[in-house]
Amino acid sequence: MTVDVGFLRDLSTTPGVSGHEEPAQRVVRDRLGRTTVPEVDAFGDVLGEVNKGATPQVVVTGHADQIGFVVSHVDDHGFVYFRTVGGWDATITQGREYVIHTGAGPVAAVSGKRPTHMIPADERRNAPDLKDQWLDIGAPSREEAEGRVSPGDPVTVRQSFVELAPDTFAGPAFDDRVGVYVAVRALERYAEDPGRGSLLALSTVGEETVSLGARGQALRLRAQCTIVVDGDFATDQPELDARKGGGVCELGKGPVIARGSCSNKRLFALACEVAQAEGIPFQVKAYPAPTHTDTDELQVWPDVANLNLAVPMRYMHSPFEVVRGCDAEWTAQLAAVLARRIGEVYEPGYFVTLEERSS
């Protein structure tokens, strides 16, 4: 499967901290504009639909926001303190280059720390709490720093995209820009050969913090099926045990199809059937509890069948997450073909999972 490297790069390297997703969502909107007429809601979600108004409606969705920081305080010497947005590991934040995204444009910053030689030996192995870390923008005073940055300005690690090997990419925000990539590519594939129903690609906001976008769409959408695409922790790396991580999840082996409380049983079985028929490699993983993805919000509507798909990802919630392009494309192919298949088999009550289902 050939990945659209340019689109994946643009998604990965465009900033979009949770609550400040507009730059990333503009990339999504512009790409969706090639296939459909995109819509943007007041939350900042972006939607595009093929065969609008047809039944059944299938939604494929990923979240556009990324983890990051926001400026919270400037001290008397011009050093900038921050609050975290989403789940950060304090051991990987120091010694990096950052960008503070202000209304006047980007401001370069580096993370500051005490010299190792001046840290007591018994403290050197421990990273300081995130609340005790700071950024240096080269300002000599509070007044000068406050002239350049303001409380609430979003902060990202400087975005960088690297092709480590053919079809293997490292970059920030693959959680979950790769899910957004899949949703858009699935829509493009579906548009080439539409089925009986409609397919809607949705890029949500706020998943890493308050799930604002998905929560709103759960109230708005009345789709028959929702396919949520996010990353899952790859186990093909040192120091990870698949037994403790919930099951095997490897790069280059195709999408992970979730089986458990987050996925409708008939939809799960249909996804596996479609993947086998199309020759799409896939992995099955047990999800016995909440997924901590947009799936948990979108499945509150009782008449929608949900399916959780995941793209294997190494080093999630770090400045360089690693994915395989083929996994993203296989996931997009599966979503598009599955939407066509749903259009063929769907009837009211099809996804009721009791032995006796309604007609």
Each residue of 280-328: pLDDT tens digit? 999 999 988 888 888 888 877 778 899 999 999 999 999 999 999 999 9
Query: Is residue 95 scored above 50 in pLDDT?
Result: yes
Specify whether 236 is located in the same domain as 322. yes
**Pairwise CA distance, residues 21 & 44, whole Å:** 7
Domain boundary (103, 127, 157) is at 157
Specify whether 298 is located in the same domain as 314. yes
**Pairwise CA distance, residues 294 & 61, whole Å:** 9
Sign of CA dihedral 27, 33, 38, 40: positive
Amino acid at 71: V
**Pairwise CA distance, residues 208 & 248, whole Å:** 24
Q: Where do we find the tokens 């507009």?
A: 22
**Pairwise CA distance, residues 109 & 90, whole Å:** 17
Instruction: Report yes or no on 350 lying in a domain.
Output: no
Given pLDDT bands bounded at 50, 70 and 90, which one contains residue 355? low
**Pairwise CA distance, residues 247 & 253, whole Å:** 14
Write the burial class of residue 262 (CB in 10 Å: 0-12 exposed, 13-18 middle, 19+ buried).
buried
Instruction: Report yes or no on 290 lying in a domain.
Output: yes
Specify whether 212 is located in the same domain as 326. yes
pLDDT above 70: percentage of residues in the chain: 97
**Pairwise CA distance, residues 66 & 62, whole Å:** 12
How big is the chain by its Cα radius of gyration, in Å?
21
Given pLDDT bands bounded at 50, 70 and 90, which one contains residue 243? confident
Domain boundary (157, 187, 209) is at 157
Question: Using an 8 Å Cβ cutoff, are 304 and 348 in contact?
Answer: no
Instruction: Report yes or no on 341 lying in a domain.
Output: yes
The mean of the pLDDT values for the chain is 92
Q: Domain count of the chain?
A: 2
Question: Using an 8 Å Cβ cutoff, are 156 and 68 in contact?
Answer: yes
Specify whether 303 is located in the same domain as 237. yes
| Structural domain harbouring 108 | 71-157
- Per-residue pLDDT, averaged over 338-350, amounts to 94
5-13 helix and 174-192 helix, angle to the nearest 10 degrees: 140
Supply φ then ψ for residue 282, to 5 degrees.
-150, 165
Supply φ then ψ for residue 141, to 5 degrees.
-155, 165
